[in-house]
Amino acid sequence: MKTRAAKLLEKPALPLTIGSALEAIRQERNVSLTEFAQILGISSSHLCNIEKGRKGVSPTRAEDFAEALGYPGTQFSKLLRKLK
């Protein structure tokens, strides 16, 4: 059975953003904002701003996040292209 995060990444229900995808993955893994930010290599306040849609993410950074979380590097950059 696929997780909620996996379903969102494969077939997003609009509007799906990098922030909402990261939040879904974080919640699915039951990880705190601080712990998740450490995994991504950013501050917890930056992660919060991304999750809430106050900050954007470049395609390169999106690929870095995907790889840090164990997804193919292009997984999140594909999502960015769909949102344009």
Digit-by-digit pLDDT tens for the chain (84 residues) are 567 666 666 665 556 788 988 998 999 999 999 999 999 999 999 999 999 999 999 989 999 999 999 988 888 877 666 555
Can you give the pLDDT at residue 22?
93
| Tokens, residue 83 | 């949102």
Reported residue count of the chain is 84
> 80, exposed or middle or buried, with CB in 10 Å at 0-12, 13-18, 19+?
middle
Q: What is the largest CA-CA distance in the chain?
A: 33
For residue 5, what pLDDT is reported? 67
pLDDT at 29: 94
